[in-house]
Amino acid sequence: MKPLIGVHNLSFAYPCGRCVLHHVHLELYPGQRLGLVGPNGTGKTTLLQLLVGLLVPQSGHIEIMGRVMRGEQDFVRARREIGFLFQNADDQLFCPTVLDDVAFGPLNMGYTPAEARALARSTLARLGLEGFEDRITHKLSGGEKKLVSLATILSMSPRILLLDEPTTGLDESTRERIIQVLNDLDVAMIVVSHEKEFLARTTTQVRLLSGQQEDMEPCVLSG
């Protein structure tokens, strides 16, 4: 079985010179649910951003579905198969209404406006958000924004999910709803979270991203 994502010898440092990833190797296979843990500053969010082309590594390479990512055009194609949930929902939501936000992805995939809105409505229903279609996005609560953010990526039927701290700041009922939604999905995923109990219920394997940012020792993934 070939991996959906392959990370090979990947290193990254920010312009200030702080190295957060050093020779990282990682593979994600179909159906695999991988939890990623580690202290703050060890590059968990950075790794997810590299996987969707928001950052460019200093060395190493990324393969997505067998294709080496050599530049933005490769990532444009790959992003059609990857749903990336930002840690901060305000970074994900930018349209006036909830329906506009959730329909945005399908529209950009070539669906007609009517088809995109139908997909958006059905996705909102899956997340228990019926009646939210005309709500003003920036007026939602934190938990509601997180659920709508998840809807924006699920409406595109991705094969891979990259979730960055999906339960941060959520109440128990919203957290339980997200667990149920994720467990009902048949997709591969990488989940960054500090919540061990959440990872135990939603992932099949957990790996540690470790390192000491103050002396910039290598960061490695271990099973």
Round to whole Å and give the CA distance between 16 and 32: 35
- Residue 41's pLDDT is what? 83
Residues 142 and 212 in one domain: no
* Residue numbers of the domain that contains 218: 1-81+158-223
- pLDDT value for 40: 86
Task: Provide the pLDDT for residue 209.
Answer: 86
Tokens of 101: 């936000």
Nearest to 207 by CA among 9, 22, 34: 34
CA 42, 44, 50, 55 torsion-angle sign: negative
What is the per-residue pLDDT for 211? 52
Residues 6+ apart with CB under 8 A from 221: 24, 25, 26, 207, 208, 209
pLDDT of residue 217: 35
**Which regions in the chain score pLDDT beneath 70?**
17, 211-223
- Domains identified in the chain, total number: 2
Q: Which of 120, 135, 151 is the last residue of a domain?
A: 151
Residues in the chain: 223
Max CA separation in the chain (angstroms): 54
| Residue that terminates a domain, selected from 105, 132, 151 | 151
Answer yes or no: do 93 and 140 share one domain. yes
Identify the domain boundary among 135, 151, 167: 151
Q: Which long-range contacts (CB under 8 A, 24 or more apart) does 178-184 make?
A: 178/146, 178/147, 178/150, 181/126, 181/127, 181/150, 181/154
| Residue 198 confidence (pLDDT) | 95
With residues binned 3-state (H G I as helix, E B as strand, rest as coil), the percentages for the chain, rounded to 5, are 35, 25, 40
| Alpha-carbon gap, residue 1 to 79, rounded angstroms | 22
Calculate the CA dihedral of residues 195, 168, 133, 90 and round it to 10 degrees. Answer: -140
Q: Whole-model pTM?
A: 0.90
Q: What is the pLDDT of residue 213?
A: 37
